[in-house]
Amino acid sequence: MLMQRRHNLSQWLALAPWWISVIISAGTFVCLQYLLPPLLDNTHAEASGAILQFWSPYLAILLIIPLPFALFHREERERLVETERNLNLLRELKHSAFVNRLIPVFRQQGYGVEEVSDARYDLILRRGGEKTIVTCKSGHAAMVSTRFVRNAQQTQTAQHAAGAKVITCGSFSPGAARYQRTSSVELIDGHKLIRLMDDGRKARERTDDLLLPFGPSSGNTLPLGLVTESNVPACPRCGSDMNLQSLIAEQGEVRYWVCARYPACRSTRPT
């Protein structure tokens, strides 16, 4: 019973705000070291007071141990709150706007992205000669059903695609998760989607830091003889045309696209 109580106390301190551990640890040390011993006036009590004073720093240290875990849980709670806030913003988007938010995410992963007007799926991704279809479930859908995932699998087969992705702001039913294990469909729920968007944003920032000093204002634009209006991509952030640039790196010449509105828009994408 005593071990169970200790375990529960440490758990509670780890989940409580970090300053709770500090206050309890400091209060325990002050009480055992300074406040309780003077109140004990007989011989046995004085011996007990000496024991309390001896053990007071060790008990204080024991009570402060959950502090790092409390700090970790605070950061985790803040991250979850931020994730839920972002998910709520995505859930308020119309379906077309939600799909448009996904396009730069997949382009950052090196996919060629094609929007389609088909009730069964929303995007076609191409990379390395393979085709992947993307089906989105936008809005406040609480849980995506097995039937929805099965339909995505059937659409993948009909379109002769190598894979399929089902994306939602919510979650998937247990049956859908079980079905996914025996299929080639990738399920991306709300929390995984936010992580993908965060990873894409961080990757774009790293790319911006590396490539933008070589932007249009530097005069390093490549000859446009091989670039026609039909293959100039639109900026994923503002929709403007992009300029083809080059950078000499350790691995050789690197080509990339930079928004024509640079520096007003600092968007880049690989060729």
Q: Which tens digits make up the pLDDT trace of 131-179?
A: 999 999 988 776 899 999 999 999 999 999 999 999 998 889 999 999 9
Task: Look at residues 109, 95, 248, 249 and name the one whose alpha carbon lies nearest to residue 186.
Answer: 109
Tell me which of 216 and 67 has the higher pLDDT: 67
From residue 119, alpha-carbon distances to 63, 96, 132, 216 in Å are: 59, 12, 16, 40
- Per-residue pLDDT at 152: 93
- Per-residue pLDDT at 5: 42
Instruction: Annotate 124-139 with three-state secondary structure.
Output: EEEECCEEEEEEEECC
Q: Per mean pLDDT, which range of 134-143, 191-200, 229-238 is the poorest?
A: 229-238
Tell me which of 15 and 98 has the higher pLDDT: 98
Cα atoms in the Cβ-side hemisphere of radius 13 Å centred on 86: 16
Residue range 10-34, pLDDT digits in tens: 666 666 676 787 888 888 888 888 8
Q: Per mean pLDDT, which range of 48-57, 75-84, 239-248 is the poorest?
A: 75-84
CA 16/CA 231 separation, integer angstroms: 56
- Per-residue pLDDT at 214: 45
- Per-residue pLDDT at 146: 93
Q: Say what the pTM is.
A: 0.53
> In this structure, what DSSP letter does residue 183 have?
S
Average pLDDT of 231-253? Answer: 71
